[in-house]
Amino acid sequence: MRIGVCPGSFDPVTQGHIDIFERSSKLVDKLIVAVCENPAKHSLFSMETRAELIRRSVTHIPNIEVDFATGLLNDYVKSKNSHIIIRGLRALSDFEYEFQRALFAKYLDDDIETMFIMTNNKYSFVSSTGIRELAKFGGSLDGLVPEEVKLALESKFNGENNRSE
């Protein structure tokens, strides 16, 4: 069985992520979306909330599982009986960063392979950071995130924007 692991912070998951999940799920027997904590970032949503939002957004993909990954990604990938890491790319800057990460993974374990999947061009400008900023200032999220995510972001920021200072 070919098992692919698609790791990320997904804070929040976007339609660009969903597109990568849909397309990569056709290349493996089982796709594990691994929600990771990024120590360099302050997360808007907890890992549990991010995983739940992904689960609600991918019910149409039959061979997908959503899980949490902590620690070294290579160890997580091996624990899932996989040797495939799947990464989505939007731009050249993504490639440079992800290429370096892939080389580290390969250095640590020669059996690990990283597959890069280019985003659909209609999502090439969409990033979780941009989505959080757009949501914070009340911009339209239509078509950029799944409906569940849109509602969660609106709830999060409406509560924040309604507080007295």
- Please enumerate, by residue number, every residue annotated as part of a binding site for substrate: 9, 41, 73, 87
Name the residue range of residue 68's domain: 3-162
pLDDT string in tens for the chain (165-residue length): 999 999 999 999 999 999 999 999 999 999 999 999 877 778 999 999 999 999 999 999 999 999 999 999 999 999 999 999 999 998 877 888 899 999 999 999 999 999 999 999 999 889 999 999 999 999 999 999 999 999 999 999 986 554 433
What's the CA gap between 82 and 74, in Å, rounded? 9
Tell me, what's the pLDDT at 164?
38
Select which of 50, 80, 90, 132 is catalytic.
90
**Contact call for residues 58 and 19 (beta carbons, < 8 A):** no
Angle at 98 between CA 52 and CA 78, to 5 degrees: 60
Select which of 24, 25, 57, 128 is catalytic.
128
User: Is there a catalytic annotation at residue 57?
Assistant: no
User: Is there a catalytic annotation at residue 17?
Assistant: yes
- Please enumerate, by residue number, every residue annotated as part of a binding site: 9-10, 17, 41, 73, 87-90, 98, 123-129
Domain count for the chain: 1
User: Is there a catalytic annotation at residue 90?
Assistant: yes
CATH number of the domain residue 117 falls in: 3.40.50.620
